[in-house]
């Protein structure tokens, strides 16, 4: 089961998977960070489709097509803004992962790549977020045979090392996937 989780360093827009997850905001109309990168790589049709979705509450997820991305779908989720940990941030972040997996199942996606939701502009502590991400992936993979591969795309060395360390702690072994992504555009 654990072998279905891969940890790679790189840019999520180059990932060859069925669906990539976007760390968006409640407007779903684009932004900076990974959201900006995904919109640039997918092309303007992505924004056109996002305009039809009417936004998305924190912790939920909505899908669009991937347009010029190698991924067929983009699952847009909205992570919590970190406010010190007292505003239900952990549960909301877990809900982003859970709802993204739920949407992936509905789409029939077998492989899905995640960025580190909320850990950039939204300020969620990286290690704490990584524990939640890996726990949710593990639980989904244990309960669901249809999702075959979950890729965590780490943007930079610090994120990569954090994911690998939390993975070792949780699973007691090295993760599959190596230390650099050959799928970068
Ligand atoms: N591929 C993979 N990961 C990336 C990429 C990329 N191309 N670019 C950045 N990251 P952030 P948030 C990492 O700020 O914290 C946007 O403006 C980055 O290093 O993109 O959820 C939205 O519109 C970090 O680890 O998202 C919202 O307003 C992670 O992606 C707001 O930012 C998430 O950082 C959402 O903030």
CATH number, position 121: 3.40.220.10
**Residue 164, in any domain of the structure:** yes
Task: Tell me if 122 sits within 8 A of 79, measured CB to CB.
Answer: yes
Q: Calculate what percentage of the chain has a pLDDT beyond 90.
A: 89
Based on the structure, what is the number of domains in the chain? 1
Kindly report, residue by residue over 98-117, the tens digit of the pLDDT. 999 999 999 999 999 999 99
pTM of the model: 0.94
Give the distance (Å) from ligand 1 centre to CA of residue 23.
6
**Residue 183, in any domain of the structure:** no
Best residue for ligand 1 mutational test, from 24, 120, 126 (most atoms within 8 Å of Cβ): 120
Quick one: average pLDDT of 128-135? Answer: 98
**Residue 157, in any domain of the structure:** yes
**Residue 40, in any domain of the structure:** yes
**Residue 181, in any domain of the structure:** no
Q: Is 35 a catalytic residue?
A: yes
Helix 126-143 and helix 89-107, axial crossing angle in degrees, nearest 10: 40
Kindly report, residue by residue over 135-151, the tens digit of the pLDDT. 999 999 999 889 999 99
| Whole-number Å distance between alpha carbons of 34 and 183 | 16
**Residue 110, in any domain of the structure:** yes
What Cα–Cα distance (Å) separates residue 101 from each residue in 36, 109, 156, 182? 22, 9, 24, 25
Q: Which domain holds residue 20?
A: 4-171
**Residue 127, in any domain of the structure:** yes
**Residue 117, in any domain of the structure:** yes
Quick one: average pLDDT of 158-180? Answer: 83
């Amino acid at each position: 089961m654990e072998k279905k989780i891969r940890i790679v360093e790189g840019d999520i827009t180059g990932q060859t998977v069925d669906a990539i997850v976007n760390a968006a905001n409640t407007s779903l109309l684009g932004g900076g960070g990974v959201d900006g990168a995904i919109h640039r790589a997918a092309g303007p049709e992505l924004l056109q489709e996002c305009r039809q979705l009417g936004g998305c509450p924190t912790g939920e997820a909505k899908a669009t097509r991937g347009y010029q991305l190698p991924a067929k779908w983009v699952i847009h989720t909205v992570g919590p803004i970190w406010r010190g940990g007292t505003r239900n941030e952990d549960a909301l972040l877990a809900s982003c992962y859970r709802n993204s997996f739920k949407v992936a199942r509905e789409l029939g996606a077998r492989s899905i790549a995640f960025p580190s939701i909320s850990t950039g502009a939204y300020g969620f502590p990286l290690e704490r977020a990584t524990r939640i991400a890996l726990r949710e992936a593990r639980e989904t993979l244990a309960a669901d045979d249809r999702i075959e591969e979950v890729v965590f795309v780490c943007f930079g060395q610090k994120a990569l090392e954090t994911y690998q360390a939390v993975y070792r702690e949780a699973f007691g072994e090295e993760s599959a996937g190596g230390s650099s992504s050959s799928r970068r555009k």
